[in-house]
Structure 1
Amino acid sequence: MRFGNVEDGGKEICLDELYIPKQHCLVYSFGSNFRFDFEEAVIRHINCEIHTFDPSKPIQGRTIPSGINFHLLGLAGENSINSKGWEMKTLSTLKKLLNHTERVIDILKIDIESGEWTALPEMLESGVLERVKQLSIEIHYDKARGNHQLKTLRKLYEAGFRIFMHEHNPKGTRHLREPFLVMANFNEISMINIKWSN
């Protein structure tokens, strides 16, 4: 089921019995740009505890919808202050800060404008993804880093993640001449962790 905007920002979520978030479910959403259509859909349909993270804009004067815990922090492969002055944390660090170390993340949504390629390897290395049931992510293709990106996706597969939906993001799609009609630099993929089906 689509949760949120159809064109950009929304994500497909698996509602099969083994994966549908149930009571006391937990959702982490990275990269909101202060648009909360995904989170509001979660509240309407499954009512999980939601934590949204985005360090890119000041919070002053912004309205955060009820039911959303907003954090002015970003997701990265290490704990640091980046070149833009944003406070960045690894997923395992954020779980510790929020006292969620032992909790399962039912839905992990990531839309961080190419930052996924530094964050994902750390998540795989630390083992934090073992306690994630679903991962919905916007991936950004970079020709110069294509081999690294493919290896990261392969490691996700080896860790038990399987794609159940993928689509081009219209904002990253260019129309070309035949026979290559469409090229997409941004793609949406949603995955389940099959280790939770055993």
Structure 2
Amino acid sequence: MGPTSQRKGGWEGMGGKERGGKRSGGVAAATHLCYSNYIHHVIWLAVRPKQDLGCEVHAFDHDADHEHYDYRLGPTAFFHKARIGSETGYMRLLDHGGRRLSYLKMDIESEEWSVLSQILHHQNSSATLASTAQLSLEIHIELHGKSLSEKRARIASCLATLEELANLGFKLLTYEENELNPQYEDIDGAHLGLYAEILLLRTNRNSTYINPSN
């Protein structure tokens, strides 16, 4: 993944350490690597639980509200005033190249479908995704104000993206509707929940389940 100024959003992941050495200001590489982007106003709540679990945490956000954060948030937690896109530049910049992800989370407020499509059709990023064990998504299917044909097309597009993930070996493990802002739509006899959090497990590789707490 790499820097971008075109889209506000992000992804978060933990990956097994492939090689030793010092990273990020002289800190020894932790067993798991965590990236978090679009952290809203709860930066410490977003990074501390993962740091406490022994992860090396890098938080990314480009909002002006985050101007006051220091680069060093904790012993193994860091903040970057930047955004992450589908390229791999930031992983190279931070010397994280070659580290595989065991947990990846995206929470980007309805932009997940276009970003996922970019990742799936970008050679390097799709390879990173293909080696990821777990994928957690905050999904939003925005249908308000659309005609029936537009709603059908939107749903078909989302299903096509999920099918591409399935082709990589991802299977649905958990599904939880958004309780704070539930949204539903009845289309062609189906009652659809439009906002939810899902966890996908890639079943075509040996992997250890990581509880994505927080």
Amino acid at match of 1:106: S
Aligned amino acid, residue 43 of structure 1:
Q
| Letter aligned with residue 136 of structure 1 | S
Instruction: Work out which of the residue numbers 93, 97, 100 in structure 1 matches 2:96.
Output: 100
Aligned residue in 2 for 1:28:
35
How many residues are paired up?
164
1:162 aligns with 2:162: no
Q: What CA distance in whole angstroms lies between the structure 1 residues aligned with 2:142 and 2:160? A: 13
Q: CA deviation at 1:183?
A: 5.8
Q: Which amino acid aligns with 1:56?
A: D
Deviation at 1:146, TM superposition (A): 1.9
| 1:129 maps to amino acid | L
Q: Kindly state the Cα deviation for residue 28 of structure 1 after the two structures are TM-superposed.
A: 1.8
Shift of 1:95: 2.0
CA distance in 1 between counterparts of 2:161 and 2:184 reads: 27
Distance 2:172 2:88 in 1: 23
- Mapping of 1:43-122 within 5 angstroms? 43-44=51-52, 46-62=53-69, 65-66=73-74, 67-75=76-84, 89-122=85-118
TM-score normalised over the length of structure 1: 0.68
Q: CA RMSD in A?
A: 3.1
Q: Give 1:73's aligned amino acid.
A: A
Deviates more, 1:20-29 or 1:182-191: 20-29
Aligned partner of 1:41 in structure 2 is 49
Q: Determine the C-alpha separation between the residues in 1 that align with 2:134 and 2:109.
A: 20
Question: % of aligned pairs identical?
Answer: 26
When Rg is computed on C-alpha atoms for both structures, the one with the higher figure is 2
Three-state SS of the structure 1 residue aligned to 2:66 is coil
- Cα distance, 1:107–1:39 mapped onto 2, change above 3 Å: farther
Counterparts in 2 of 1:105 and 1:175: CA distance versus 1, 3 Å: closer
In 1, Cα distance between equivalents of 2:156 and 2:167? 16
C-alpha spacing 1:139/1:175, structure 2 compared with 1 (3 Å): closer
Gaps of 5+ in 1: 1-12, 14-18, 76-88
Structure 1 residues 133-163: Cα deviation after superposition (integer angstroms, max 9, x where no partner): 2211101112342221111111111111122
Q: 1:189 aligns with which of 184, 188, 198?
A: 198
Structure 1 Cα separation of the partners of residues 15 and 172 of structure 2: 16
CA contact (8 A) 1:116 1:139 kept: yes
Judge conservation of contact 1:133–1:196 (CA < 8 Å) in 2.
yes
